Chains A and B, each alone.
Chain A
Amino acid sequence: MSTLELDTQVDASRMEISDEVAIEISDMNKWFGTFHVLRDINLTVNRGERIVICGPSGSGKSTLIRCINRLEEHQAGSIVVDGTELNSDLKNVDKVRSEVGMVFQHFNLFPHLTVLENCTLAPIWVRKVPRKEAVERAMHFLEKVKIPDQAMKYPGQLSGGQQQRVAIARSLCMMPRIMLFDEPTSALDPEMIKEVLDTMIELAEEGMTMLCVTHEMGFAQAVANRVIFMADGQIVEQNEPHEFFNNPKSERTQQFLSQIIGH
């Protein structure tokens, strides 16, 4: 398993998991037309948990975390985020969205705005933060992701890794209590993956509740307190990372792990 080790040391002192429930998903089902993408999903996430979701493509893992901020609508069951149930009430949806940060595979930065404007836009227009304060906050988080000097550039002028770090900073500017990562490193060149993962590790060290769809198994081992394996729209296996990687119970999991780590 040596290939999985990250060279970064993770400081676990502040990575505490509280008893408070952050996300409660019960008997959730979703269909795309007639295709049953998510089947009877039950998942409880406590505050401070760092969950990595993995599985073969088409297994519904992205759809699952996109349901948590209602980029996708579920058709049956319930999703409660921070005590707010996601239903057709737009007020609830907006409330959840402003408290849940999301980082996408393709960054989805706004190309017509500078890096700084990308970061201040939502705080100013959604949270009504005064502009000056929003700029200070944005610079704080841009420093945190180590690119304050790029603040005045446009996203198109940055490398992929830098763009993804801006995307993380943009989410953090909304002071989210939960962060969702949808394959944040899949679109990056190998040498840029580490800088994004380092940023995510730093976030985890500060106790952020994180759900992360990724195939970075080194990250999962170092940071996650729980790894979930999905296949065919169902949660097949979940365990703490050491057990998950060294002693997978189900055949599907073993097969999947042997494919991604085998070589």
Chain B
Amino acid sequence: MTTEATGGLGQLVAGLLPSPSPIRFLDPAGEPVDEHGGYRPPSDELTVRAYEAMALVRRFDTQATALARQGRIAAFPSSSGQEACQAGAALALRPGDWLFPTYRDSGALLSRGVDPLEVLAPVRGHRHCGYDPLAHRCAPMSTPLATQAPHGTGLAVAARWKGTDEVALVLLGDGATSEGDFHEALNFAAVFRAPVVFLVQNNRYAISVPLSRQSAAPSLAYKGVGYGVRAEQVDGNDAVAVLAVLTEAVGHARAGLGPMLVEAHTYRMGPHTSSDDPGRYRDDDEVAMWRVRDPIERLRAYLRGRGLLGDAAEAAVAARAETLAAQVRAGVADDARVAPTEMFDHVYAAAPPVLAEQRAALLSELGADGEGAR
């Protein structure tokens, strides 16, 4: 399609650019505001489900953080403050779609139905990926930054070639947008019209380095236009807005209209991981400013104001959250055992002679009776 056919370059660019300010449905107090840019709001049913999912993610997060402080798990990269994005990413997808999470996206995996103890496998220390990625259609959490973005793009193209309407949703942070793989993935996605959505959770810090040192772009969503990728920016602490924009983005991809880049403005309330000390690089005042924008409180106020969330329902959600936390505590206490020789089992489809020898050598180290095989 030529630019003439679409009414000129200006119109083409306008169709790709994000809204000049983040899409919002709710103000920080949960009051509706008219900044929704024409996006269709999510159904009440989906919004209530998002509240429950966010509450569970928050409880899971505080529990895992506590376990990390106690030394029961190696570390935990908290997503506290980003629950609207975490739950929203999962709820915008259908079961047949694919999610490509990072290490900070435990909440998205949880919201997609992955077992919480399987989510924690990497920090429990027995496996790099605890869940079956094919069963859940969730790639392993990516620890290298942005490397999962070309994977999601390739998978989405393969799905499209096969004639399905499946979509891939790739989660990224603001720091990842500086990586070359982010650039290459967006470029490939546009060139091959991949049904993929890139959700950048701009939480303003890459460990200690602030957004201003990552990018001088007007906002990260403006990176899309250079690739020919439609982009949008959204208040990432407004769950209604996140659901509205992600549902639109996923629909755009599913309809064969190409990829979409969504930047969600949010904030990492906690440290980078439980090993980090954010007091060295940011002020309490800044944290306090974001505390009043808490995504769960905002959604709760909105739902209660509309009569969609009563005391009984809220108590039921809280009870489910406590059950989840207890399940996590008990599961982590029950130390996961794994056979030491498992490290050889899946390096290749069939172990070559070199690994078969080394496996035997390790077994010998462990003793003929297998004692110590834990």
A binds B: no
A residues whose Cβ falls under 8 Å from a Cβ of B: none
